[in-house]
Amino acid sequence: MSARRGWTLKETLIVTVLGAVFAVLYLAWVQVWLIAQAIFGSLTMDVVMGFWFVASIVAAAIIRKPGVALTAELLAAAVQILLGSPAGLLLLVTGAVQGAGAELVFAATRWRNYSLPVLMAAGVGAAIFSFAYTWIRFDYGALQPTVLIAMFVLRCLSGALLGGWLGHVIVEALYKTGALGGLVIDHDKRAAIA
C-alpha cells in the first residue's frame, strides 16, 4: 500500500510534536516516580516505567509506518536533554533502547496491526529492552533472583498498561477529536468500518 511508504511532512511534524509533548510529560513523571519511590520503595521504578514508553506507542499507532516508534522516543529523549534533564546524553541511549523494543513488535506485524493487544505487546517489548539495558547499566546481576523476577514482571506489566493500554486510550481520544483525519490511522479505521 503506497500510503505506508515514506513520511509526509504532516506525519513528520506530528511525530516531532508528540516527541516534544511527551518529553515534558516524561520530565514531570520523574517527579511522580521520586515521590512514589520515597513512599513505596525501590521497586516503584518498575511499576511506573511503562509511562516512559508511551510516546513510541502513541506515535506508531497514529502514523503506522516503520521507524516511528524509535524516532518518537529518540525525539522525546533529545527534547528532555534540551530542557535540562540531569540524565544528560544517556537519555538518547535510553530512548533508542525503549523505542527499539516497541518498534520490534510493530515490525513483527509488518507495521499493519495496531490493535490493543499489539500496543500492549509493544509496551512489553519496550519493557524487555529497557530491562536488559538497565541490567547492564546498573549491574542487576548482583541482585537476588526473586527481586529480579519481581522487577521484570512489574516492568512488563507497567509496559503493557502504562505504555500500551494508556497509549491506546490516548490515541482513541485524539482520534475522536478529528485531529487525525487524513492520516493512515484514519484510512485504516474507515476501511475497517466499510
Render pLDDT for 8-49 as a digit per residue (tens, 0 to 9): 999 999 999 999 999 999 999 999 999 999 998 888 999 999
Q: In sequence order, which residues have a C-beta less than 8 Å from that of residue 56 and are 6 or more positions away?
A: 68, 69, 70, 72, 73, 98, 99, 102, 103, 122, 126, 163
Q: Which domains does the chain have, with CATH numbers?
A: 7-185 (1.10.1760)
How confident is residue 4, by pLDDT bands cut at 50, 70 and 90? low
Query: C-alpha distances in angstroms, 176 versus 25, 99, 107, 169, 179?
Result: 22, 26, 26, 11, 8
188, pLDDT greater than 60: yes
89-143 pLDDT, tens digit each: 999 999 999 999 999 999 999 999 999 999 999 999 999 999 999 999 999 989 9
